[in-house]
Amino acid sequence: QVQLVESGGGLVQPGGSLSLSCAASGIIYTIYVMGWYRQAPGKDRELVATITNTGYTYYADSVKGRATISRDDAKNAVHLQMNSLKPEDTAVYYCRRSSSGRDYWGKGTLVTVSS
């Protein structure tokens, strides 16, 4: 069993930046994909960015050039840095870890982009 805990959400002004972190605990496998997803009110959950244990990254077109995902294997953590935030980035951001055929999700952290 793996537990994921997100942190770093909050209120950010348009054009601002935020940094989200996700820490994994429990039974940790070294081969994984970790990522960030988000769900805006009234919309489906969508992928934001992913990173593998080898460092391969993928970004959704909506955040490409504005987001950077990184990992800290020593702390079993993944981070998301987003810049030039827009009101449409407002959503609950969820951390996901996939390994050994299983998916684990965090409870989410709310990011609100508003003036």
Work out the burial of residue 90: count CB atoms within 10 Å of its CB; fewer than 13 is exposed, 13-18 middle, 19 or more buried: middle
Q: Each residue of 28-63: pLDDT tens digit? A: 778 889 999 999 999 999 999 999 999 999 999 999
Q: What is the pLDDT of residue 86?
A: 97
**β-strands 10-12, 109-113 pairing:** parallel
Least Cα distance to 89 among 4, 5, 10 occurs for: 10
Please state, in angstroms and as integers, the Cα–Cα distance from residue 84 to each residue in 37, 106, 113, following that order: 18, 25, 10
Q: What is the pLDDT of residue 48?
A: 98
Residues 97-115, mean pLDDT to the nearest whole number: 94
Q: Each residue of 60-101: pLDDT tens digit? A: 999 999 999 999 988 999 999 999 999 999 999 999 999 888
